Each structure stands twice: as structure tokens, then as C-alpha cells.
Structure 1
Amino acid sequence: MNTPSHSILNLAILDRGQLKGCTWPIIVGSWLPDAAIFVFYGWAKVMGLPEQVIWNEAYYTPVWQGIFAIGNSIPLALVGIGWFLWAKSPGGVALSASALLHHLEDLPLHHEDAHQHFWPLSDYRFISPVSYWDADHHGNYGALAELALVLVASVVLWRRVRSRWGRSLLLLVNTVYVGGYWQFYG
């Protein structure tokens, strides 16, 4: 999934009940698993690597895959939830729960770029038959499912968000997603 999708879905799911008001920890937790990928991309651009090399070679090197495994670890997210429950930290629970949701949302939509979600217990990668981007692996359907989920979650959030800034951000993200889908798959 695209990183902003995780934020919208996770806010719709988590920012209520005992985690109500933990908006920023939820947003940070939704981006945290992809943080190493952003660092990787920045490094690759500084190194002058072309896009083809970045995503078809460098991304799959053992060093970078090992780094990505840490941020995409379901066991580590569960440990985080447990730790913050013990410490009675709703913000920490929200952050770790959001990271866990990110991992669970990624599982059905990553094919060749699947993460090692069970690290350090296993190097196993769940290779989904559906990709969120790769047309060779039903990317048009994966992207459509992601778009539909984001639109539904945005309706839920629209009812909760009262600020113009928050609503404007929701409109912007949804406009970009709808336009992007039609540009790539329409």
C-alpha cells in the first residue's frame, strides 16, 4: 500500500475509544514501517542511481532487505504494544498498533516486494498473488481495492475531522489517489 493510505485507514480504525486523541502517534506509527524505504530512496538518489537500478537491484540487496525487515516486523510491533500497555502509555500503544496495522494492510498487497513480516523469528515472506502497483500481478485490482478502502475510511474521518486543514488534507489525498488510479490504470 501507499504510505498515506496507511495513515487514513489507521486513523479511521484506531482514533477512537481509548486511543481517541492519539492522532499523531497513529500517523507516526503508520509511516514508521516505511521510514527505512524513504531513507533508502534518498541514499540511492544521492548516489546517482537510476530509478530502474534503485527499484530492481539496490532495493533487493541483503543489507537493505535486512534494514527493511526491522521496520516491517509484526513480532516487534506486538512487543511494542505489550511494552506500552505495561507502561500505561496510550500514545505508545497507538504508535505500535498503527505500525502493526500497517504490516497487516501490506500483507495482501505485496508480491515481489514482500517484506519479512515475521523477522526476527523467520525470514519468511508472504508473496501475495496481488500487488498494490504491479500490473503483472493484478496491480489494477490491488490499487482499486486500496482506493476503495481509502475512500470509505475518508468518509468515516470526514465525520470526525472538524478542522479545515484536516478536511482539506483528506480531499487532497483522495483527489491525488483517484487521479493517480485513472492515470495508471484507467
Structure 2
Amino acid sequence: MYTPTHLIFGMAAFGRPDAPKITAAAIAGAAIPDLSLYLLAGTHLLILGTDPQVVFGEMYFSDAWQSVFRIDNSFLVWGMVLALGLALRRAWIVALAGSALLHIGLDFPLHHDDGRAHFWPITNWIFESPVSYWDPAHFGRILTPIEVLVSWGVCAWLSQRYRGSAMRAVIGVFGLLQVPVAYAWVVGVGT
């Protein structure tokens, strides 16, 4: 799924309107599994000027990058963080880990040939789903608009839960981040 969708779903599932620290942890947990990709790709694309085809066609699949993705996308690693949060009775750790696990759980069935080793360190096996959230050869043209519409619906629901103007602005930004995804779907770029 697209990162903004993870932010929206993580906030919806684990955020609490009466607890800003927990909501922030839920948003952070939703972002962390994709953070390494943004840092690695961003460095190459924006600073080093590496061709996007090289970044996403070669570097993304390299052992070096995949070794990083194994850690921040591991059900086992995040499961241990969740267990720690439960043992310590720290709601913010539970929200962080729960949101990351939700992110990984939603990504697992929606990556065809660009998945991650979600069961590291036990195995480096990568599930190759028959469907993809973005790839038109694997139902991306069907899944993308569903993802965007559901995300906007969840944003509307979140706007009812969070009454403060700052949080409504955050929700609005998350909703606006879906616009490029919707645009790409309409013009057929990447979906």
C-alpha cells in the first residue's frame, strides 16, 4: 500500500484523540517500515542524482537494501516490540508496534515482485502475492482506486473523532497525499 494509506490506517487503528503521544506513536509506527526506503531512495534520487530506473529497478532489489528492509519490515522484530510494550504496559509502545504490524500485515498480501522478507531473522523468504497494490499487471488498476477511496473515507471518519484544528490539519494532509496516487491512477502512471 502507499505510505499515506498506512499513516491513515495506523492513526485510525491505534491513535487516540485524547492521547496525543499515543497518536504520534501510531503515526510513527505506520511510517517506520517505509522510512528506510525513503532515506535510501531519497539520498540517491535527490542528492546523488541516481537514475530512478537504477534506484527502483536495481538498488531496491540489492542485498544491501534488502538487508535493511528485512529489519524494519519484520513481523518478528515488531512482534517483540509489541510484547515489550505489553509487558511494560506502555500504551505508546503498543501503538507504535501495533501500527507497524498493521502496515506490514497490509503490505504482505499486496506486493507481487517487490515484497520484503517479513519473517526475518528466521528466513529471508519473500512472499510473491498474485496481486499488487500498484502494478497494473497484477490488479493495481483495480486496487489503487479502492485504496484511495477507502483512505478518504477513513480520513472523513478520523475528522469526526479528532476535533482539534491541528489534528484535522494532519488528517487533511494525509488525505491530500492521496491525490498524487489518484492522479497517477487516472493517467495510468505506476498503476
Normalised TM-score (structure 1): 0.90
The answer on whether the counterparts of 1:68 and 1:115 sit within 8 Å (CA) in structure 2 is: yes
1:123 matched residue in structure 2: 124
1:60 matched residue in structure 2: 61
For 1:8 and 1:79, the matched residues in 2 are separated by 24
> Where does structure 1 lack aligned partners over 5 or more consecutive residues?
none
> Where does structure 2 lack aligned partners over 5 or more consecutive residues?
none
Normalised TM-score (structure 2): 0.87
Aligned pair 1:155/2:156, yes or no? yes
For 2:25 and 2:98, the matched residues in 1 are separated by 10
Within a 5 Å distance, the mapping from 1:39-58 to structure 2 comes to 39-45=39-45, 46-58=47-59
Letter in 2 for 1:32: I
Residues 79 and 90 of structure 1, relative CA distance in 2, 3 Å threshold: same
Q: Give the match's secondary structure for 2:9.
A: helix
> RMSD value over aligned CA atoms?
2.0
Identity over aligned pairs, percent: 32
Within a 5 Å distance, the mapping from 1:8-157 to structure 2 comes to 8-16=8-16, 21=20, 22-45=22-45, 46-157=47-158
Letter in 2 for 1:67: V
Shift of 1:129: 1.7
For 2:19 and 2:14, the matched residues in 1 are separated by 7
Residues 89 and 70 of structure 1, relative CA distance in 2, 3 Å threshold: same
2:2 matched residue in structure 1: 2
Shift of 1:99: 0.6
The answer on whether the counterparts of 1:9 and 1:149 sit within 8 Å (CA) in structure 2 is: no
How many pairs align? 185
Residues 15 and 113 of structure 1, relative CA distance in 2, 3 Å threshold: same
The answer on whether the counterparts of 1:109 and 1:142 sit within 8 Å (CA) in structure 2 is: no
Shift of 1:148: 2.8
